[in-house]
Chains A and B, each alone.
Chain A
Amino acid sequence: MQKIGVFVCWCGSNIAGTVDVAAVVEAVKKIPDVAYAVDYKYMCSEEGQKIIKDAVEEYGLDRIVVCSCSPRMHEATFRKCAESIGINPYMVEIANIREQCSWVLKDVKVATEKAIQLAKAAIAKVRFNNPLHPGQSQVVKRALVIGGGIAGIQTALDIADAGYKVDILEKEPTIGGKMAQIDKTFPTLDCSACILTPKMVDAACHENITIHTYSDLEAVSGYVGNFDVTIRKKARSVKADICSGCGICTEKCPARKTPSEFDEGLRNRGAIYIPFAQAIPKVPVIDREACLKFKTGKCGVCSIVCPNGAIDYTQEDELITEKYGAIVLATGFELIDLENYGNLGYGRSKNVITSMQLERLTNAAGPTEGHLVCPASGKEPKSVVIVSCVGSRDTSGRGKTYCSKVCCMYNAKHAMYIREKYPNVDVTVFYIDVRTPGKGFDEFQRRAVEEYGVHYVRGQVGKIMSDKEGNLTVFASDLNSGRHLMLNPDLVVLACAVKPAKDARKLASMLTASIDTNDFYVEAHPKLRPVESPTAGIFLSGMCQGPKDIPETVSQAGAAAAKVIGLLAKDKLMTNPCTAKCNEQICSGCLTCTNVCPYGAISGVEKEVVTLNGTREKRVVAVVNEALCQGCGACTVACPSASMDLQGFTNKQILAEVDALC
């Protein structure tokens, strides 16, 4: 006879506030084979676990059902608890009476009834649980970091410093990311490049770091500890090993009609270009769509001027394959397109610019060598309007509903350094709210108002018009005074919302990492596992997980690195024992299962099997490789003879749950 113990958790008042836990205990006690049932305030606490352990010893329990929060929260806790007293951890089932019951229902009677039913279903399932034993798999001691911005660089440096090999994969021709474009950083106003470029050099020189720039992720397979990755190194058309980075080719290139991505379109670059002076690697790349040689066959200036003969028009993409134990996503962000914000005049007037363009305009290495000018006239502005929340916190469907988090601070920064350098320029910031939590942040914003005399106006900008001469008129409302305002600034700066990088969704599909409706990667737990993806072996670093500033990005990068190091430090990993299993007695050897298995984990093997009527015969049967099987269960449904079953989620277990609930 089975001996099932049922442990009902109050979760303080989280469950007990809506579910009559004593009634649940009384109800389950009546179920045959339930040898013991009890409720307790916090089952997950040490005291709660002791109750479970004592009950197992006293009543000789062999199966445990815990009615508590989601198994995603504490299943591991209770499995460990069971294991510590000699019960196989897979003899534990969780009835989720918090997330699925007490938190979504208000009526105590209804919630208690549902809790009892969920408990009954878990009890029905646990009767068919079998002890399972995880296997072991090797860990490849190498990590891949996707994205070479500050998040990726910091993660890679931390992993490399711990003694593990790391590869950085960057789609652009250089590492550095968005931080390389920024002029100064808040709240210290120190030069962004001055703190970033040494890190870029550190990464490039580190013996444990390999950098693949101008490269894409081509294919990924495998699982935690054993990812097989193919990287496409796009053809640079320049031999990196010969090129000295002198840059003569980039100066002499006659095709100069392409707007520079790095300078946010404020100047043009050649078809052969190095994004910026401190680029790593400092090897130019030919943009084949802009290059005259590739378009018309005539030109070839770069190959003539190159002193080293490094130009190679015939270079082809190269595919490299590598094995990794862990993958970190650090794909960063970009600014939203402003096509839905035509009312703000971006694109129609050159003097309406984005905040990132302002960064380039004030940057000493930028197109104006740091002189703030209106792009249309080339003259210094007399007044500047900064518009906050362009596309952020916008519930109208045009932009993003979330707060981009960094804008309030960089608006204050921009206002401050304009006023610092050009005390006669008038700066007005329109805002909905000023949100500046963070160490030294609020003080920083107040300094902008109190010391630098920046005008902050609470209100939204409705429209920005430009007349024939290019003069701007800003129509806005001042919510505090209720007045309508009309301003004539020379320059308008739009603090656009941030959004995840364009290929975030594609990468999520390739890596089976979870992604939310805004294309930010989802973390395994929003509070307790913020740098891990729900998919084992995939980690998150920086803006790709949600809006954050540089200090937060760097700390998250370190946290992700620590998690990766923790994984790579293990020699072996326990594999998930909930794998498919073939009943060889009834398997006909049709091998339909092999066609649906996404992991190639099933193969046909000729074996001597005992048939149902007791005779021995030699025939082909399906055999599951437990190391490869990830336990999706696709084969179990495809199998025409029902000989394939999934351990931990067997047909019997699921049908028992169905029967208990209906």
Chain B
Amino acid sequence: MLKDAAKFEPKIVAFCCNWCSYAGADGAGTARKNYPANVKIIKVPCSCRVNPMFILRAFQRGADGVILCGCHPGDCHYSTGNYYTRRRMALLMSMLNFMGVAEDRFRVEWVSAAEGAKFAEVMNDFVVQITALGENVKLRDLRCKK
């Protein structure tokens, strides 16, 4: 059942690479740039560590939005990791589309270690976007529902 849109608090998982985006999130904190509590961060060494399965699992478990943040292309700590991410996630996007999941529920963003303000902006924007989309019902496994 779709909840009342006004009270709807989306669940959002953010995968952040250790070197850029996780540090960017720390930067947002240090600069006291607020973003909603809906966003919960999972640290990974590199965005290329994120298996598309993790994202599908999040949706299956009831996440309403998933965002993956890495270093800007060319700035990857491991040189090429985020290029792999970009290709893999482009495929995942079209697969989500194929499965009927609004591709707006998943986003890839490049946030550097110095971009604390950008991190907060991106998260604020993403929460607004997911809130507007409402609850994720398409991929949610009802057995996982708490």
Contact = CB atoms under 8 A, between A and B. Distances in A.
Same complex origin of A and B: yes
Interface residues of A, number: 50
B21 to A, nearest CB: 12
A162 to B, nearest CB: 29
A71 B43 contact: yes
A72 B19 CA distance: 10
A105 B29 CA distance: 9
B44 A649 contact: yes
The interface centre, meaning the residue of A114, A578, A596, A658 with most chain B CB atoms within 10 A of its CB, is A658
A662 B63 contact: yes
Interface string B70-81: 000011111111
A102 B138 CA distance: 33
A23 to B, nearest CB: 15
A110 B39 CA distance: 12
> Chain B contact residues (Cβ within 8 angstroms of A): what range?
35 or more
B46 interface: yes
Contacts of A101: 37
A105 B42 CA distance: 18
Interface in B27-80: 28-30, 32-35, 37, 40-46, 48-54, 57-58, 61-63, 74-80
Interface string A106-117: 100011011001
A96 B20 contact: no
Interface string A225-268: 00000000000000000000000000000000000000000000
A205 interface: no
A71 B44 CA distance: 12
Contacts of A110: 37
A98 interface: yes
Nearest to B57: A658
Contacts of B35: 104
Interface in A290-306: none
Nearest to A646: B49
A636 B20 CA distance: 20
B131 interface: no
A630 B127 CA distance: 34
Contacts of B44: 633, 649, 654
Nearest to A633: B49
Contacts of B33: 104
Given A516-B112, A517-B114, A637-B84, A118 B19 contact: no
Contact of A512 (B51, B63, B76): B76
B57 A632 contact: no
B105 interface: no
Given A72-B26, A658-B58, A658-B61, A522 B114 contact: yes
A160 B17 CA distance: 37
A345 to B, nearest CB: 34
B51 to A, nearest CB: 5
Contacts of A514: 19-20, 23, 75, 112-114
Interface in A520-543: 522, 534-535
Contact of A534 (B23, B40, B53, B80): B23
Contacts of B109: none
A294 B29 CA distance: 57
Given A117-B40, A121-B42, A517-B115, A512 B78 contact: yes
B40 A118 contact: yes
Binding site secondary structure of chain A: helix
Contacts of B75: 508-509, 512, 514-515
Nearest to B73: A509
A432 interface: no
B25 interface: yes
A113 B44 CA distance: 23
A631 B11 contact: no
A57 B13 CA distance: 36
Contacts of B79: 512, 598
B42 A661 contact: yes
A633 B26 contact: no
Contact of B34 (A106, A512, A596): A106
A188 to B, nearest CB: 34
A649 B80 contact: no
Nearest to A657: B42
B107 interface: no
B130 interface: no
B77 A104 contact: no
A99 B37 contact: no
Contacts of B29: 70, 98-100, 103-104
Given A522-B113, A634-B81, A646 B63 contact: no
A516 B114 contact: yes
A655 interface: yes
Contacts of A103: 29-30, 32
A100 B23 contact: no
Contact of A630 (B52, B78, B113): B78
B22 interface: yes
A651 interface: yes
B57 A655 contact: yes
Contacts of B88: 637
A662 B62 contact: yes
A121 B26 contact: no
B120 interface: yes
A389 to B, nearest CB: 23
A662 B13 contact: yes
Contacts of A111: 37
A114 B116 CA distance: 20
Contacts of B25: 99-100
A631 B26 CA distance: 22
A659 interface: yes
Contact of A72 (B23, B37, B50, B61): B23
A633 B112 contact: no
Contacts of A70: 26, 29
Interface string B105-145: 00000001111000010000000000000000000000010
B74 A636 contact: no
A225 B115 CA distance: 29
Contacts of A515: 75, 112, 114
A509 B74 contact: yes
B37 A113 contact: yes
Contacts of A105: 34, 37
Interface string A618-662: 000000000000111110111000000010010100110111011
A661 B15 CA distance: 12
Contacts of A633: 44-46, 48-49, 81
Nearest to A125: B42
Nearest to B56: A658
Contacts of B45: 578, 631-633, 646, 649
Contacts of B42: 121, 654, 657-658, 661
A632 B37 contact: no
A655 B81 contact: no
Given A632-B49, A634-B78, 10 more contacts: A71-B43, A101-B37, A104-B33, A106-B34, A121-B42, A512-B76, A517-B114, A637-B52, A651-B51, A657-B42
14 contacts: A99-B26, A100-B29, A106-B34, A117-B40, A509-B74, A514-B23, A514-B75, A598-B79, A633-B44, A636-B49, A646-B45, A654-B54, A659-B61, A661-B13
What are the 4 closest A-B residue pairs judged by CB atoms, nearest first?
A99-B29, A633-B49, A516-B114, A662-B61
